[in-house]
Amino acid sequence: MNNNMKLAMILLVTASIVLAGCTKESSVTNTPSSSQQNSSIPTNTNVNSETSDIGDVSDAGQGDTSQIDVNNIHSLKIKSNAATVTVIGDKQIKQAKWKLSKGNSQGMDTNVTTSIQDGTLQIMLKQKQQKIINTGPLPSLTIHLPYKDFKSLEIDNEFGNISVKSELSVQHLNVSSSAGNITVTDVIGMESSNISTTLGNVVFALPDQSAPLYVNLSTKLGNIDNQVPLKKATNTTTVVSKELHGYVGEAQSESATLNISTQTGEILLKN
């Protein structure tokens, strides 16, 4: 990504964050539903030839949607340089599905590629800036995953909001953004969860009946709003930075871990 594109993305995402405000849950921008995504753009879908027998990609010719067989998939990596990314767990489906919508944006050339290597499904969204400044909304990438035990789910979105929600079983959850809000609802890594953004807010809603959990929250410039009872809780404030540590449930040396960090933004932890 060239410097002009990075500058344009930073200005766009920063403006959306400022307009949304940095106040707890209300500050996180909601991702449009599929019914609101009216415009699609051409995509490229490629499956690694070494594993093409288990990477059944259909509807690729449609340009905006695709389905992928995940029976032999144990991990997922989702990477985007600029988009609104939504990942939804769904017990009613058998295959992974993704849909791309560009909204009203006319300043970018966007495509999605998929590949399967060593049991890991990779979904990559890449863009080329067609204008120096793009004033339209970011594209939206929505991914539906069937309910199964995944070893890891990794989402890396440079610019734009990320939402992960509902009925997912994953050992390790890693979500990161350079500029954008992150919302995680009713999903947690059974061994570890690492959520981080440089510029943006984080809302994390714990699933019901979660196992014992060690929580580590930190922000360099912002507030921490914890609405979950913590045992052995410790609070640290240094000038503008804040940290909160403690256990959900009984303190155990082998508890799962939840790490949430922001450089500039709010953190809300709730049930």
- Residue 236 belongs to domain spanning: 3-270
Task: Give the lowest-confidence range in 42-46, 133-137, 181-185.
Answer: 42-46
Q: What is the mean pLDDT of the chain?
A: 78
For 190-212, the pLDDT digits (tens) are 999 999 999 999 999 999 876 78
pLDDT in tens, 210-261: 678 999 999 999 999 999 999 999 999 888 899 999 999 887 878 899 999 9
- Going by C-alpha positions, the residue among 263, 84, 266 that lies closest to residue 159 is 84
Report the number of distinct structural domains present in the chain: 1
Averaged pLDDT, 144-171: 95
Which among 47-51, 99-103, 242-246 has the top mean pLDDT? 242-246
Burial bucket for residue 167 (CB in 10 Å: 0-12, 13-18, 19+): middle
- For 24-33, 172-181, 189-198, which range has the lowest pLDDT when averaged over its residues? 24-33
Closest to 149 (Cα-Cα) out of 183, 112, 98, 191: 191
Instruction: State which amino acid sits at residue 69.
Output: D
Running DSSP on this structure, what letter comes out for residue 211? P
C-beta of residue 184 within 8 angstroms of C-beta of residue 267? no
Output 56 or 13, whichever has higher pLDDT: 13
Number of C-beta neighbours around residue 118 at 10 A: 9
pTM of the shown model: 0.76
**Residue listed under structure tokens 């990794």:** 154
3-state secondary structure of 72: coil
**Of the candidates 22, 24, 17, 21, the residue with the CA atom closest to the CA atom of residue 226:** 24
62-98 per-position pLDDT tens digit: 346 788 999 999 999 999 999 999 999 999 999 999 9
In this prediction, residue 240 carries a pLDDT of: 83
Residue 133's pLDDT band, with cuts at 50, 70 and 90, is: low
What is the per-residue pLDDT for 15? 46
